[in-house]
Amino acid sequence: MPVPASVRTPRLLLRPWRADDAAALLPVLEANQAHLGPWIPRRVSEPTPLPELSARLAGYAADFAAAREWRWALFTPDGATVVGEVGLYPRDASGRVPFATADRIEIGYWLRADMTGQGLATEATEAVLAVARALPGLTAAEIRCDPRNAASAAVPRRLGFALAATVEHPDGVLQVWAHPLGRVDAG
């Protein structure tokens, strides 16, 4: 699978989460619960004791290595400060699926509150969009966000995504932004 383990942008280092990142991530989750809680799944945003958080991150690393989904921790270029996360998640019309049956890829992201408003989510998303273009068999990339989260919805607009749908879900309304990947490889 042509997914790089690390990606550098002008202002970020993207690399898979590791279990030992838990000590750096926990204070970020604790300090940003009110900022992240309304927008990303609780299983991702909720602070948990270090052993549980380490296990969660080890699971993310195992999923990355097995090409089930790819979650990159976002760090400052020196790797010293956790900034957030960006990920690629295989999908089809029914939802998240194994990569082998996916026809599209979802991009998800979050940033700690003190790092927002600088274009970092756009920069990270643009980097993984380039990775998605190299994956075989995909027709589109999608970003799903709550329309009340104006900062998050601005990212797909900046990157040329089009609003493809607005769907109801148990917690409210979700916008689905789509960007064609421009090719489908014959399988």
**Distance between CA atoms of residues 156 and 121, nearest Å:** 10
Q: How far, CA to CA in Å, does 154 sit from each of 37, 68, 70, 116, 126?
A: 19, 28, 23, 12, 13
pLDDT of 187: 45
Beta-strand pair 82-92/162-169: unpaired
Return the DSSP state at 46.
S
pLDDT of 92: 95
Identify the residue whose tokens are 């879900």. Answer: 169
**Distance between CA atoms of residues 48 and 138, nearest Å:** 35
CATH superfamily of 7-138: Gcn5-related N-acetyltransferase (GNAT) (3.40.630.30)
Burial class (CB in 10 A: 0-12, 13-18, 19+), 174: middle
Locate 41 and state its tokens.
Answer: 């799944």
pLDDT of 186: 46
The closest alpha carbon to 111, from 79, 143, 73, belongs to 73
pLDDT of 183: 55
Give, for all 187 residues of the chain, the pLDDT tens digit. Answer: 579 999 999 999 999 999 999 999 999 999 999 999 888 888 888 889 999 999 999 999 999 999 999 999 999 999 999 999 999 999 999 999 999 999 999 999 999 999 999 999 999 999 999 999 999 999 999 999 999 999 999 999 999 999 999 999 887 899 999 999 975 444 4
